[in-house]
Each structure stands twice: as structure tokens, then as C-alpha cells.
């Protein structure tokens, strides 16, 4: 059974998709700890309801190194084998990324490598997609490296961009895809079916 640690900064809907998949047996694993840098967010409540360790670790007033050391202690103490960034809005330093090399993944609300990098988060991503005139968008799960959104892509799931879409309506459609793709990739990892250096899996429009 894969021991999963999740880092989240918000409401935790992507986290919930993993919790549900673990509970249903879709994923042969369990979320053992959830860490957030924002106090009182929905992700921590979801973790507590699931009976996982829910930990708030404030990043304010301390160095990045000190903050990341606290996170690493929680992950290691829980015996985490896979770290999932599910709406976690902080970047990590080289030391942290190297410590969990090939064992840390992130979900991004666009079809990487398009619309990734600094500033590309939340509605900013969807505004950029709509401004481009692209006919499709989607989400990607990738390994985390030092480069923002630059790690190898494991899988992408496409959604259509529809006439009259706003950033908010497109975001909602992409979020639905995230809730399908993220637990799917975690399941593949638990089953040993994906690995760094493998070809990215492109799934058709949902």
C-alpha cells in the first residue's frame, strides 16, 4: 500500500479526488499526511475527516530552508513514499526537490509545456488560454523539478474550449478533468506503471 503525502494551499478538491480513490480501492494506497501553508483551509479539514494527519506549517517569518525542513520532517515521519502537490502555491528549493527526486508530482491546469512557469496559476492560466484562441485546454500531471512546471510530464487530459467561455467556466471544466487525471496517475504510480523518462500519456477530450 502506497503511503501518500499531499501538500495543498486551498480547498482541497484535488486532494479529495485522491482520498475518494483510496477509499474505493481504485488506488492501492493511503493518504497519511496533508500539509498546508495556509491555516484553516478546506484541505486540512478534508484530511482530518479522512483521519489523516493534518498539519499547518506557516512559511511566514522563516527562511525557505527552515520551512521546507519542517515539511520534510512531517513527510519522513509519516513514511511517505509519494508526495503530491495538489494546489500547493509555493515553489521548492533544489535541496527539497532532490530529496524527493522522482517521488514528487504536481497537477497543473493546462496542457504542459504550454501555459506553465512563473505566474501561471489559477485564473491566470485560463485567461492566457482564452486570449490565445486555442480550441482545447486541459490539465497535466508532471514530476517536480527545480524548473517551475518544467518536470517530465506523466499524463495530460484534454478538455474543449467552448464558445463563450470565461476564465471561470473554463477553470471549472479543467478542474473536473483534474479530479479524474490525478487519482488515475497516482494509481499508475502505485502499480509501478509509470516512471521518469517514460513517454507522456495523452488522453482524449473528456
Instruction: Kindly list the catalytic residues.
Output: 108
Please tell me the total number of residues recorded for the chain in this structure.
Answer: 206
With CA atoms as reference, report the closest residue to 107 among 39, 47, 153. Answer: 153
Give percent helix, percent strand, percent coil of the chain, each to the nearest 5: 35, 20, 40
For 113-194, where are the E strands, in sequence order?
A: 136-143, 153-160
201-203 and 82-85 beta bridge pairing: unpaired
Check if the beta carbon of residue 31 is closer than 8 Å to that of residue 4: yes
Q: 3-class SS at 4? A: strand
**What is the spatial distance between Cα 84 and Cα 200, in angstroms, rounded to a whole number?**
18
Ramachandran angles phi, psi of 202, nearest 5°: -105, 120
CA of 107: how far to CAs of 40, 66, 153, 157, 160, in Å?
A: 22, 25, 10, 11, 18
Check if the beta carbon of residue 165 is closer than 8 Å to that of residue 132: no
Amino acid at each position: 500500500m502506497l503511503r501518500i503525502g499531499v501538500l495543498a494551499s486551498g480547498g482541497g478538491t484535488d486532494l479529495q479526488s485522491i482520498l475518494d480513490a483510496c477509499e474505493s480501492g481504485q488506488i492501492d494506497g493511503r493518504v497519511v499526511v496533508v500539509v498546508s501553508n495556509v491555516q484553516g483551509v478546506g484541505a486540512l479539514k478534508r484530511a482530518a475527516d479522512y483521519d489523516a494527519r493534518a498539519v499547518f506549517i506557516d512559511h511566514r517569518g522563516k527562511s525557505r530552508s527552515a520551512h521546507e525542513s519542517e515539511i520534510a520532517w512531517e513527510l519522513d515521519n509519516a513514511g511517505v513514499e509519494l508526495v503530491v502537490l495538489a494546489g500547493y502555491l509555493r515553489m521548492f528549493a533544489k535541496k527539497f526537490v532532490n530529496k524527493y527526486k522522482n517521488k514528487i508530482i504536481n497537477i497543473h491546469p493546462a496542457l504542459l509545456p504550454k501555459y506553465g512557469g512563473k505566474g501561471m496559476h489559477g485564473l491566470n492560466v485560463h485567461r492566457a488560454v482564452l486570449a490565445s484562441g486555442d480550441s482545447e485546454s486541459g490539465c497535466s500531471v508532471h514530476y517536480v523539478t527545480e524548473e517551475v512546471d518544467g518536470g517530465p510530464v506523466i499524463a495530460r487530459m484534454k478538455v474543449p474550449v467552448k464558445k463563450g467561455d470565461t476564465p471561470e467556466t473554463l477553470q471549472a471544466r479543467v478542474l473536473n478533468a483534474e479530479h479524474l487525471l490525478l487519482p488515475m496517475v497516482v494509481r499508475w504510480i502505485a502499480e509501478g506503471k509509470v516512471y521518469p523518462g517514460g513517454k507522456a500519456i495523452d488522453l482524449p477530450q473528456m
